[in-house]
Amino acid sequence: MEVRDVHHAYRRRVVLRGVDLRLRAGVLCGIVGENGAGKSTLLKILSGELRPSHGTVRHGGRFGYCPQHVVLNDALTVRQHLRFLQKAYRLTDLRYAEQVMDVLGFAGYADERAGILSGGTRQKLNVTLALMHDPQVLLLDEPYQGFDWDTYQRFWDLAVRLRDAGRSVLVVSHLAYDTERLDELWRLDGGLLHPDRVEGA
């Protein structure tokens, strides 16, 4: 994924002032920033949800996007969500999705409606829908919200495994926790990305 000179403003409030980023294959990258720094705006632009005022974004292959707010259809079951996205991604089966569900520990909820799932389980499904087609570029916006400690650990384990398999993973968060797990860390501040120190590197 290549991001060049991305600017964005909401009317007169300038949020991004020229963001450049090149996400290489096999890299686990993090972007941190304080509340209101423009992280979600940047991810919306990277995912194609929002058109930047200026600049370009290019993806080189399949990509998956996990939005910060859980985006599900509360009337449908977990399995129905998977079948819907299976058709969207043109997958012949759901074996990979089931593996992701196993790793995140919610395979037992396949026939439950999304509307009655707990917040953490909804987030697991939210992440699974972004991952189930084995994207080459994966964008995750605050992906571990509502996860318990065990799931949180397994999530990072999964992210590292995907990185090791050559996928590019970008995690955006307001907290610089677990930066030692990252290959690259950027801080979004003043509308620009600044390289940050990777703890324990």
Q: State the nearest-atom distance from the C-beta of 148 to other proteins, in Å.
A: 15
Tell how strand 137-141 and strand 63-66 pair up: parallel
Number of residues that bind other proteins (CB under 8 A): 62
User: Quick check: 183 binds other proteins (CB under 8 A)?
Assistant: yes
Q: Burial, 138: exposed, middle or buried (Cβ in 10 Å; 0-12, 13-18, 19+)?
A: buried
- Which residue in the set 62, 108, 116, 148 belongs to the binding site for other proteins (CB under 8 A)? 62
Query: Partners of 32 in the beta sheet?
Result: 173, 187
Give me the torsion for CA of 112, 115, 116, 122, rounded to 10°: 80
String marking each residue 79-108 x if it binds other proteins according to CB under 8 A: -x--xxx-xxxxxxxxxx--xx--x-----
Q: What are the DSSP calls for 32-58, one per residue?
A: E--TTSSHHHHHHHHHTSS--SEEEEE
User: Quick check: 116 binds other proteins (CB under 8 A)?
Assistant: no
3-class SS of residue 22:
strand
User: Quick check: 177 binds other proteins (CB under 8 A)?
Assistant: no
Q: Which residues neighbour 138 within 8 Å (Cβ) at sequence distance 6 or greater?
A: 63, 64, 65, 66, 130, 131, 162, 167, 168, 169, 170
User: Quick check: 5 binds other proteins (CB under 8 A)?
Assistant: no
User: Quick check: 164 binds other proteins (CB under 8 A)?
Assistant: yes
User: Quick check: 110 binds other proteins (CB under 8 A)?
Assistant: no
- Which residue type sits at 143? P
Q: Burial, 83: exposed, middle or buried (Cβ in 10 Å; 0-12, 13-18, 19+)?
A: middle
String marking each residue 118-137 x if it binds other proteins according to CB under 8 A: -----------x---xx---
Piece in contact with other proteins (CB under 8 A), picked from 7-15, 42-50, 142-150, 169-177: 42-50
Residues of this chain that interact with other proteins (CB under 8 A) are 45, 47-52, 56-59, 61-63, 65, 67, 69, 71-76, 80, 83-85, 87-96, 99-100, 103, 113, 129, 133-134, 153, 156-158, 160-162, 164-165, 178, 180-184, 198, 200-201
